[in-house]
Amino acid sequence: MTGATTALLLGLLPAATATSNTTTDDTAGMQRMHWVVNVGPGRATQCTIDGAMYVPADASPSHPVPAIIVAHGFGLNYTFSEGMAEYFYQHDYAVLVYSHLGSGDSTCGTNFADPQWDGAAASQLIDYLGGDPVTASSIDSSGNATPAPPRTDIVHDAVDHDGIARRDDPRVGMFGESLGAGVQLSVASFDHRLDALVPSGSWNTIQYSIAPNDADLASDSDTVSKTPGTFKESWASAFGLLSFLNSVGNQQVPSLPCLIKTAVPAMCQDLFDSAVQGYLTPGAQQIADNSAIGTYGSKIITPSLLLYGEQDDLMTLKDGIADYRQLKANGTPVKMIWNGGDHLSGLDGDASFTAPDQRMYEIGQITDWFDHYLKDSSVDTGPSFAYVKQWAIDKNNPDKIAAVNAAYQAGDTIDLPTVKHEWYLSAGGTLVDDPKALAPDIQAFVSGWGDIAAAAVASVVWQGHGPYPDTPNLGGIATQWQTPALTAPVTVVGEPTVDVNLISPSAAGNIAADGVAGMDTGVAKIYDIDAHGNATLVNQQTAPFRVSDVTKPVHIVFSPLTWQFKAGDKIQIVISGFDLKYAGSKDVNTNVIISGSTLQGLTLPTISG
């Protein structure tokens, strides 16, 4: 389980087992490479980076080309970025693709995109592209290394984005998913030679990604609660298992207690303790802070195209909004796209990074972004914000790309003009939007320790593919309310909220005895119940909460949702004391909710269409 914990903090995007690379790829223009970098405090730790260069045949000192660095997600290696690397190469870019510290055949261990570690490593790859005499080697098909001379075939800028003249300032952008998204934002915070970024599925704070609390927030736009969150055992177990298999596949001896070669041993105890107690220790909190874009985002001035998945339950749209607002506040050119996918994949016909097609909306936007900032193209970079109306996709259209493209809604702001629609908790497990129809009722549920073993078993079944399995809402541990069949569609774009008053006689005593570990925990969920009674968890999103004071109302803020409830469907909310995704309270608490008040219910931000 320790490896699981470490893996989750890394963030990130495995879809298959990564294996070590020992031969040169057959792709034309591709050369496998090694680079030696110095990272950590005082740059005192030396590491080797494994990767490759794709260089157009006509690139030369007399015909230099711009460059793009491509970075992968956790648990993988540079070969899993080949789809995008080859795509950019075919568009006349030199492409540097590499394995992160501790991934593939790269040495040392990752530090969750900490600027001093993973950020410093990426910065020295920019040095190499800028013509500095970085220690670099070309690797032949037998694994033999030949010293590589400094690069002379990359376009240079006269000054960096601080206005400082540098001889080693290449025209360079970065693309990366998950961990690769976090790393490029990390390096951009201090290396202002970067000219364009495209992070896909990054976090704003790792704390929110791995131990969220969607209650007790200072405002609806916050990602970090005043009360510690609940640990995401789901992603921890899945990534830990995959990382363990990867380390065995690479013939690395797993080192206890971390079990995975990508771990930094000094961090392991804090991460292990966080998993056991169900929330972050002070040491793990420091790790999260060091890698939080919310911590260093004010220093990022590189034009950034942010990509997020509407069904991503690891790095949610809430992360995207926080990142967007941070960069916007800096005066940084920024735009954001919400595709219809999750953290692992996009919708059929959209956001494919393994088989990119320029006709795909998101791929086309990425291409225009890089062409504009790296090739000085006059191409329009498009609207500031776009999202997919998944309900508007014509599933009968055989041209999947055209069908998805037609369902994109674009505009100049992320602040959409929504109307709040309120439903109140009422008798018989009903949601009513007419205060006059309210009637009192009592429901109860039991909350307690999230079963780590159960989460691990579910993760093995899941294996990191598709949405994580939803936890059944069993009587006794879950309460639920639903609307009558809707007479007209209800379209939601934004952050729903749920308000409840919990009566928990045992909570005060448990908190006094066990502190944070004894606080009441639970999970709120929103379902779409169709005319046949089939329930769909909306956008795969759940809202975990930990309550520091049950004598006060609990205000729960979901990550943004994009969803249309059709006429004839029912809207259901569930409040459960147990969920496979999260570690819960150490103690068992019985909670009572007395409905029948306009102060308790569900609020949805709605739009027309």
* pLDDT tens column, 294-347: 788 899 999 999 999 999 988 999 999 999 999 999 999 999 999 999 887 788
pLDDT at 462 over 80: no
| b/e burial code for range 527-554 (CB count within 10 A of at least 16 → b) | bbbeeeeebebbbbbbbbbbbbebeeeb
Q: What CATH number was assigned to the domain covering residues 419-607? A: 2.60.120.260
Q: What is the per-residue pLDDT across 518-561, written as a single tens digit (0 to 9) for each?
A: 899 999 999 999 999 999 999 999 999 999 998 999 999 999 99
| Residues 159/160/166/167 CA torsion (nearest 10 deg) | -80
pLDDT tier at 284 (50, 70, 90 boundaries)?
A: confident
Its sign, for the CA torsion 320, 325, 326, 332, is positive
Q: Checking phi first, is residue 162 left (phi over 0); if not, alpha (psi -120 to 50) or beta? A: alpha
User: Which residues of the chain form CATH 2.60.120.260?
Assistant: 419-607
Q: Checking phi first, is residue 50 left (phi over 0); if not, alpha (psi -120 to 50) or beta? A: beta
Phi then psi dihedrals of residue 198, to 5 deg: -135, 85
Section 357-361 average pLDDT? 96
The closest of 343, 451, 285, 454 to 75, measured between CA atoms, is 343
- The structure's pTM equals 0.91
User: Which residues of the chain form CATH 3.40.50.1820?
Assistant: 2-211+289-411
Please determine, looking at this structure, whether the domain spanning 2-211+289-411 carries the CATH number 3.40.50.720.
no
Q: Return mean pLDDT, the chain.
A: 86
- Percentage above 90 pLDDT, the chain: 65
